[in-house]
Amino acid sequence: MEVLEDLVQRGWLTTYGISAWHGFRRAVDARDFLCLIDLCAIVRSVAGHEGHFRFIQLPIGLWTPDAILLRNQPMELSINNFPPFAKGG
C-alpha cells in the first residue's frame, strides 16, 4: 500500500484497489483470508485518513455464489463505519 500511495502522490494514480480470486471468499480462519477492516487499517497506517484505497474486485456468479452468500467479514463492517477514504468520500 505504501508504494501505491506513493504513486498517488506522484500523480500516476488517483485511486487503487485489490483484486483477489479467493481472499475475500475464504473462511475467517483461512491463511489467505482478506479482511476489509485489516486492509483499511493498513492504508490508515501508511496514509492516515487520506488514503486512496477505494475498490475491491472478486468473482461473483453462478459458480462463485459464496462471494455473496458467505458472511465472512466482521459483523461491525458496514458502509457507515468504513474510513472516509474507503467510501470514496
Q: What is the pLDDT of residue 62?
A: 87
Which secondary structure element, helix H or strand E, spans residue 53, and what is its range? strand 53-57
Instruction: Report residues of the chain scoring pLDDT below 50.
Output: 89
Q: Where are the alpha helices (DSSP H) in the chain?
A: 2-9, 36-47, 66-69, 84-87
Which secondary structure element, helix H or strand E, spans residue 47, and what is its range? helix 36-47
Q: What is the pLDDT of residue 77?
A: 53
Is the sign of the CA dihedral 31, 78, 40, 4 positive or negative? positive
Q: Which pTM does this prediction carry?
A: 0.74
Q: What is the pLDDT of residue 78?
A: 54
The residues spanned by each domain of the chain are: 2-87
- Residue that the C-alpha cell 468473482 belongs to: 59
pLDDT digits (tens, 9 = 90+) for 68-82: 888 888 766 555 555
